[in-house]
Structure 1
């Protein structure tokens, strides 16, 4: 953007402009917000009188929001509010909507239902003589309302309760310059920027922990003639201000929050409302006849036009709202909302239908922020050397979800809803899952000073401790059979039930009667759907045999070469089920009987 020289400190202009929507930041986590949009509408009864039936003087029209189909009126389609709603605000959690009502001179709170319908809560709070804009601190503790109490302005600060209701802050109100038409809060919540439309100035106020406002030492900074809206980049480095002289000024946020003009774009028609994508790459402006778009250079804040200069042949745009995904944008045009799809290159194009009618003169518009997803997962039996099954499908949020896993063992992170991960050694590991929803919203908040696209829910990340052991899971049993040859002696008693998953076998060897059998068989029982892929037999600490096959059922123990005595025998069966391997181990002690030596018959005598 080219540089511009400083303007006179005061520029007088007579205007009629509407306030841009602002957003209330709330740190409290919430369930997934419904995809809805709200439009402030001022009604006029036919004939200038109040014939019956006459709609409420003002209402908030309620719409379902779909990036591909646009806005669809809810049923019922709106809620009455005061006499002249000028702006709407909502916390990133999407639990509450606030309306600034200039006709009733107050601000009102509405709870958001699961279907997006609004229900009044609390008591309307007085907000001066002509409230016309709202903003919020990102921690969600304070709502700030701008009042044009001519010949000066005021900032009313309200404490936000846990249920979203409002209480005036002790330091409220604070006197500011005349005609504060728009507000923007820095993403770190430490600074408030107030736009004085009649003076064509922007003034910074530091925001204290108690919500009190203090003017910046640097004083007001000049803007374009008759500024109408302000917005901050999500990275907190730039502020942009539109003005009716056809310009958008760009400012760098310096240390402490002071603004310095870095450049501007001009030759626009009558730019009003502003919106910015969550990644900060694109800036959108409500223009005379159409919505315009600019690519933003994050290194220097410069703007490059993506759309041609509007022809001025269409309806005048007033305010803008971007959907939480950033894939659609909506512009109020008086008695309707014009709707656009946003392409991958950031360029908006009209949807079909291109506009949706409102119930009255449309003022502010608000797309309810995405409150963020909630991460949750389960863990299967965890054993070193074999895959451990993780399942993140219990997570919730706007679909489709994407998953980022940290398994806590220093290996590369995983993805997917239900991954398997193999731990090399036994131990205790902290597993973390972070979920990002279909709007690109996860654990990080996205706030542009006048709108929150993503609430940055802390519930998008969850952790749990996983204990990995050396013992096998409980997936089968081993039953001992009898001898196949020899006399008298049955084999040892049947084996015990295998131990629970995650514990080492604790079977104590038991001595039975001695056996004179030459061979023993152990029958392998296994759960349905599993097969025995291998059987390993170890006698007296040494490997005796390994059997492999498609589905083995019997283990063979050879006692022919063993002398009389006691021998420890271990049989390890490898089970395969659904691609996962597990092992069942049986430990026994067998006693072999002394075998009687049969005298060899004498041969013929010597010759």
Structure 2
């Protein structure tokens, strides 16, 4: 017969072993939004205790070809960029997470793509792919947007993705047209660096930093030390698909050891965990045939910014995974697909991903870049 102290040690050991192998994603509850590009609407999901998102109708109509939805810092207003309307739509966020129109849309440059709210919560920026500019807006009383002067040229073709340092001092803009067939001969892409003045206006600084064709999703680590850039390029065209950079005091970029990295096939979106230890990347944005690109990659971020795949990577994530968002505690990862599904994963202690439930419909058709956003509630 075991004495109680030994029995306690066994129970403790088993508990530790179970915890080590179990997913860390024990978070539950909350809301999230998914924009549907082809049907021009926004879906609201509530996340139940099991971590499975449940669609809550009705869908909210918005402009044509919505991509990113971002929230104001206080979570009381939401902004949606719509590519075919050249505009940003403004919504009030109710206490239940529902969206209601706040004011008429504000105009952007031609074919707006990426969108970001500054860490201060006072300004919002939009990359305009067709005219090579970035539009800037102040976020005023009640969350209303107002133009912050004329759109600023980036100096390069096809600006698409945006990312900012946590202190709000620098804005990064990815550029380049995608190369998703072997016949694509687009020129290489670039990352352009802007310093951000105290009033939110932008000043281009330094030389453009070359990356591969189709520069798109970007993430800065929470400590502001590293920037990661996904390039929308087919592996058979180039294996230089994911770039990592150390961020200097002046905002300048220096490649991290081992960069660039492979991340087959056709990387789109990126997300860094709140603790800055992992990077996730949707690598399935193959518009010509979403069914053959199905992966989400996970990487561990080393102290020098270099990357190594997490155990089990890449992970199956439906047909054409494109948008992604991590919960605020880093415990769950939500991924949208070009086939109009939302896939949810628990994030393990080693960074591995475990599916939670079956994929669910997004309610509309064809989510696009930046299409998943964690709600404020």
TM over 0.5, shorter chain: yes
What is the SS of the residue equivalent to 1:235?
Answer: coil
Measured after TM superposition, the shift of residue 310 of structure 1 is 4.1
Secondary structure at the aligned position of 1:114 is classed as: coil
Contact persistence 2:296–2:317 (CA under 8 A): no
- Structure 1 residue 135, shift from structure 2 partner: 1.3
Q: Among residues 307, 319, 324, which one is paired with 1:320 in the alignment?
A: 324
Q: Deviations over 1:256-311 (max 9, x none)?
A: 111111232225322211111100011111123122211111x2011110144548
Is 2:49 the counterpart of 1:41? no
Contact 2:163 2:173 in 1 (8 A): yes
| Offset at residue 354 of structure 1 (A) | 3.3
Are residue 214 (structure 1) and residue 203 (structure 2) matched? yes
For 1:191 and 1:313, the matched residues in 2 are separated by: 33
> Which has more radius of gyration?
1
Taking a change above 3 Å as real, the CA distance of residues 329 and 224 of structure 1, as seen in their structure-2 partners, is same
Distance 2:130 2:371 in 1: 24
1:211-258 superposed Cα distances (whole Å, 9 cap, x missing partner)? 211111x21011133222111000000000112244211100011111
Assess if the C-alpha contact under 8 Å between 2:55 and 2:362 holds in 1.
no
> What residue number does 1:186 align with?
165
**Structure 1 CA distance for aligned equivalents of residues 145 and 318 of structure 2:** 40
Instruction: Return the match for 1:236 from 224, 237, 241.
Output: 224
CA distance in structure 2 between the aligned counterparts of 1:268 and 1:290, rounded to whole angstroms: 8
The reply to whether residue 165 of structure 1 matches residue 144 of structure 2 is yes
Alpha carbons 1:337, 1:358 under 8 Å: kept: no
Structure 1: stretches of 5+ with no match in the other structure:
1-33, 44-56, 372-607
Aligned residue among 172, 192, 204 for 1:203:
192
Q: Distance in 1 between matches of 2:317 and 2:354?
A: 16
CA 1:222 to 1:163, structure 2 compared with 1: closer, same or farther past 3 Å? same
The residue correspondences of 1:347-426 to structure 2 (distance < 5 A) are 347-363=352-368, 364-368=370-374, 370=376
User: Matched residues in 1 for 2:69 and 2:319: separation?
Assistant: 22
Q: State how 1:301-340 maps to structure 2 within 5 Å.
A: 301-308=305-312, 310=314, 314-334=318-338, 335-340=340-345
Instruction: Give the deviation of 1:71 after TM superposition.
Output: 1.1
Deviation by residue 1:69-127 (Cα, 9 ceiling, x = unmatched): 32111133x21001211211113422111100112110011111111110110221001
* Cα 1:267–1:100 shift into 2, 3 Å: closer
- Structure 1 residue 319, shift from structure 2 partner: 1.6
CA distance in 1, matches of 2:152, 2:318: 40
Distance change >3 Å, CA 268–CA 67, structure 1 → 2: farther
Q: CA RMSD in A?
A: 2.0
Aligned length: 319
SS in 1 for 2:160: strand
* Higher RCO by CA contacts (8 Å cutoff, separation 6 or greater): 2
Q: Calculate the TM-score normalised by the size of structure 1.
A: 0.50
Contact (CA 8 Å) 1:330, 1:339: kept in 2 or not?
A: yes
Question: Does the aligned pair in 1 maintain the 2:298–2:309 contact within 8 Å?
Answer: yes
What is the Cα deviation at residue 67 of structure 1? 7.0
- Give secondary structure in 2 for the equivalent of 1:283: strand
Q: What is the aligned partner in structure 2 of residue 272 from structure 1?
A: 268
Q: From 327, 342, 346, give the equivalent of 2:347.
A: 342
TM-score by length of 2: 0.80
Change (3 A) 1:82 1:289: same
1:77-156 correspondence runs (5 A): 78-150=59-131, 153-156=132-135
CA distance in 2, matches of 1:313, 1:348: 10
The answer on 1:284 being equivalent to 2:280 is yes
